[in-house]
Structure 1
Amino acid sequence: MQQGASTGLTPGNRIQRFGAIIAVFWTLLVAYSLYWDHRQHQEDVLLLGKMQSQAFFEKDLLYRRWASRHGGVYVPVTESTQPNPYLSHIPERDITTPSGKRLTLMNPAYMTRQVFEMAQEYTGTGRGHITSLKPIRAENAPDLWEKGVLQTFERGVTEVGEIEHIDGKPYYRYMKSLFADKPCLKCHAPQGYHEGDVRGGLSVSVPLEPIYAMLAKEMRGVYINHAFIWLLGLGGIGFGTRRLGRMTTELYEQTVALEHEIVEREVAQEALQEQTIVLEEEIAERRQIEETVRLSEEKFSKSFDNAPIIMTISTFEEGRFLDVNKKFVELSGFSRQEAVGRASLELGWITPDQRQVLLTEFGEKGRTSGVELRLCSKDKKYITCRYYGELITVDGRQCLLSLAYDMTEQRAMEEQLRQAQKMEAIGQLAGGVAHDFNNVLTVIMGYCNLLQMDPTLDTHQRDEVEQIVASSEKAAQLTRGLLTFSRKEVMDFRLADLNGIVQHVQKFLARVIGEDIQLRTICNRPEITVRVDSAQIEQVLINLATNARDAMQMGGLLNIETNTLDVDDSFITTHGYGTPGRYACIAVSDSGCGMDEQTRKRIFEPFFTTKEQGKGTGLGMAIVYGIVKQHNGFITVYSEPGHGTTFRIYLPLSEGGQGPQEETGEPVVPDGGTETILVAEDEAGVRRLLDDILTQYGYQVILAEDGQEAVEKFMANRGKIHLVLMDIIMPRKSGQEAVAEIWRLQPDIKVCYASGYTADFIRNRGVDDGGIELVMKPVRPQELLWKVREILDR
């Protein structure tokens, strides 16, 4: 009651003040969340505008490159398409067909400008403009913004994008530089341009009003949600504060009434004692009181000394210890004799600043509760504690009862958690960087591999290409280092037959996968000797089989196949890891639901799982990865949704077996040809690589992105195609379905499948291998050329 009077607040008022503070904090938290959402939506506007602008730019640039590659195109002369006066120096600018139709040569810039005008006329969306600081036509002169951007291109900048207002409306304007190549010099050489010079740029303007409208609609929902959450929180805070304040007030009033009652009873007792007490009763009563005090002090002393937290009694003014408990002695390192009689500042137990904070809080509240302190032990180790203090009276002197709960271990665990979360975030960032960088390295290393196969290179040029390959491999190793998942279990490496390990674990796997899944093992070599921990390799197979079982809820086929395979530079270029040579390989294939590209990329991350909560820890595939890495091996995954999954584990052969060997000598490739080959591949990078390899060796290549387009292009070029190179699993129409239609059109056409699955697994998917050749991915240029030549020469 005295404490409440000294502060001028009743307990109920203090609860209300506390509730108001919480309400203010809640309001600030909701406001910050709303601000964050608003800022994210603003960033989304820039991102969407830039993506649309880049898409427009790449489309327009593709038109120009196509036209440039063919030296322009001939089009009929119309009122809107008149002969270009700037091409008058070209003798064949205007031609007449045998039927008498007049045609005129349209250069890339002319064509691009008409495409821009047509896009604006029919869609009314993005605006395009080809421009230059030295335009041939007045219509190509830059506006003020474009002129400034072109000037920055002269200083080395290659692209610029920002928000500008056109006719009072917001647009995202994007512009990228154009370089003069050999076909462009037909028109622009007279202007003084040389090959490789910056001669202008393509400008794209995308309206932002639709994006702003879409995001404004989303933000209205965000505002409503935040307002609802804010009001709901305020209601809860208000209800809790009123209820707690009412309970505290009632308790306070009951305490005051009890104190008054005690006072009244003491007065009545004194009056009764004055009338009835005798000397013997007074002596007995006093002895009883003394015994009660003694027992109370004994109980307090035992509780004080054996408490699991630090407890001390010290003078309030100087902080000099009067008593300390065992926990203090244990954690501080000071004995009871060293501590008692000395001040906490003198021992270095607490800093002057920390003591001043405590004294200030005692002056304001009369007590201290939940203050976090860093206390220093005798051996200069810091202890993080949560401190509580109460003022007590000892022998008529104001003293301080201090309690400190050791939070050092808790804080260390919290720091470990923060570190783990930080490392996870860094891992995600590193994964994104490594993925993008490896895309660049794949192109560099792939085409260097083609250059190494070029017999016309002299020794100096070949050395330069090898230096590029070596540097690219080092860069690839750096990116792989960002993603390394290291495990340090103790391994029992011994020479073992890989076939024997598979056969040993086969019976156990049959029980793991269940009766509705067929298990098949194929050993393609009589003996494959490896130096491994057999138990760990069995664990790998068990984890993969368990994963396959969960992917085949309606039953299916689990295939385990062993073999020895060559790992070459093409494999390393495609996957970004490995060492050339011969390896033992275990291929584990299932006919389950498969996985998409995003899931496949994260399959080996610790704690990542696609299973329901409680049905998977997310550690199974991470353990597989760690075991394979400790065996100096590597693992690949090939999967597509609805078409199953294949894991391939590569392990070094033992020294007594066929160990990894480096390739020597120059790559041997067969003679090229002039035949026409239809290539159907849905992966753009692989499609372009196949095109480059075959074209380089003289073949005529027709490309298709899926099975349906392959059938259409075969019909359009019927009688000209000599070989069909077909991926098996593609969108719209699979390779098997496309080949069936092509055979109906031309039964004797030669077909070669390309796939990342094993041959046995492909047969089990229903593809008849009779008379059909198979090229396994990743495709080595030499193997592809040999296979193509072999099939065509039959």
Structure 2
Amino acid sequence: MPIGLYRTTPDGRILDVNEAMVHMLRYPDKETLLQESVINLYVSANTRDDWKNQLSLRDEIYRLEVRLRRYDGTEIWAEDVARAVRDEQGDILFYDGSLQDITDRKEAEEALKRREYELQTIISHLPEGVLLLDGDHHIVMANPAAQKVLNLLVNEAQPKLELLGDTPLEVLENEAGQPWKEIKPADDKGSEMVFEATAVSLPGDAEKSHIGCIIVLRDVTEERQRQQYQAAQERLATVGQMAAGIAHDFNNIMAAVVLYAQLIRRTETLSPRYQRYITTIEEQANRAAELTRQMLDFSRRSVLSRQEMDILPFLKEIYKLLERTLPENINLHLEYDEEKLIINVDPTRFQQILMNLALNARDAMPQGGDLTIKASRLVVKQQTAAPMPNMPPGNWLMLTVQDTGQGIPEDHLPRIFEPFFTTKGPDRGTGLGLSQVYGIVKQHEGYIDVSSKVGVGTTFIIYLPISEFQESILLPAPTQKMFEGHGELILVIEDNVPARLALCEVLENAGYKTLAAGNGRDALTLFDESTQKISLVLSDL
């Protein structure tokens, strides 16, 4: 590329230039350029002043990149290499210098800087952590997300990066380009967090085959929690289906026992001794029925009697009940933020939730402690993260039951809602209490969360939708009196023979007539062939 040569005076006159200079600045001819003041060639007048000051302080050549204005008004970048020519007294006579057009290079540099800035901006705002390491594993660059992860995964005392959490860096380098590798903190710092990392090797040249690597880190803690939550939900749903089937069959068996016990009790000649036997049979049958109800609650197959209910008066009544029930060494606390929180629930089932959790807390505090029940409103918005996976936006009752008991071991937490899982000794529960709580909450379209630390205590948080209705509607308790019949015909459909026979006998003793069928097909035949009007059909669904 041609180089322009010039000679100028300190006052800005141009004494001489070569043709390359004229062509570079796009002047029509040399004479026109020589008539120009050199000051007018600079885009910034300050550049000329700084240039003169630098040359006045030195005798050697001075290099400077300057922005110049051409004759047609366009601008270029030029490298100016100049020196001051002095007289015998040291005064500057003129400046001799050269100009080289470096516009293409400067534009390329500016474009590179823009790309670097854009890339740095993107990397800085990535949710994943990005690390650049040299060949000796020293950190060359780390974006903000990587800095946060490094605080949890790297010992500050390490002079260079040898370990990422519990994983040697060599393992990542050897598996460069492979799928993500799971990494966990090596100590207690962030012990509940899970990360994934992958590495990309930076190839070198002939002298050095490897000059470093790029490591990408991402926090997958919430993703793992969602996966575990989903797996637990699926496992509990499967167990719930099994529990529902068992409860159904068990109910059929116990129905015959209860019905025949009731028939025997009606025997007028029954001695007191056999009356006691019957009482024992009924009591044990009721215990079995309660067990079945708990299993149905867990499997979400219970029949609910839901109504709009103000939670706070209800909690105050439960508080009084627990005060009489719990040992004196347990301090009971009730806290609430609002005076009215209406939810749509089955009051009996809701009471069962609180009683089960309170009794669990009692068993966890044999030496006494604090039991706190707190009710508050939680507003989940569309744009904010919900406390539970798949929890829709809206107003929620957040019911917290917290104790200061022994706590639950971490390896037990994933199983505490499974039926019959218990850490208590023999004769201290069936292991259905928490599974019943879980099922009732789910049947009310709610969510339940638990956190615990051994030696500190356990906290259960239940989320239930707050009702759109703002008034509590208390329904009267249903009566359980059996109406006497007057010869009405009832069609009984029950596949369990003992239960079917017992039910028919109870109905007939109450004044009804019965037709019995073991399945739907037989029932339809009886229905069509019956000469008497069938007033009621009782069917085991």
Where on the TM-score scale, by shorter chain, does this alignment land: which range? Answer: 0.3 to 0.5
Give the structure with the larger strand fraction: 2
TM-score in terms of structure 2 length: 0.41
Bigger RCO of structures 1 and 2 (CA < 8 A, at least 6 apart): 2
Structure having the higher Rg: 2
- TM-score normalised by L of structure 1: 0.29
